[in-house]
Amino acid sequence: MLGHIGRGEARSRRVRRLGSLLVSGREAAAAMEATHCLVADQAEFRAGRIERLPVEDESADCVISNGVINLSPQKEAVVAEAARVLRPGGRPAIADIVSEQQLRDSIVCDADLWASCIGGAAQEDGYREAIEAAGLRVEDIRRNPYEFISECARDASAKYGVKSVSLLARKER
């Protein structure tokens, strides 16, 4: 589910000006509920897939993704879509799970590790390269304080350097 907040000014005192914002994953439902009360006359919500966003080219100021890209087997397509919908100067703000080393097939094909968001983790350098290849300039990557719960996930994390990161980039003008 995607939340798309259109351009314009909100009527609420708490929100003075909104750009165009796309929200995916876990945040979509919360964003829909929160923005409905604040900007009901300026918000539009669309169902779609992250590999084919139902949004016009260069129509968003920001794309936010929290733990969603690693769940797609088409990570390059997801990043390309984010770049397509961002206006020049727009920013993707991404939190995701990546690995320092390429994961073995036994990790990638493990359903429990997919459920832990490890099975779909991209190798960190390749993740960054895909973002840059889509025309986005990476400005910052930070490691998030995150611990996996299951022993299997902790073991894979230790062996392959699986970690949570936040990434901020900008679409070149």
Which tokens belong to 45?
Answer: 């919500």
The most distant pair of C-alpha atoms in the chain lies apart, rounded to whole Å, by 52
Whole-number Å distance between alpha carbons of 54 and 142: 30
Does this model's pTM top 0.85?
no
What SS3 class is residue 76? helix
The predicted structure's pLDDT at residue 36: 55
What CATH superfamily is the domain 2-171? Vaccinia Virus protein VP39 (3.40.50.150)
What stretches in the chain show pLDDT beneath 50? Answer: 1-20
The predicted structure's pLDDT at residue 19: 47
- Per the listing, tokens 């006359």 go with 41
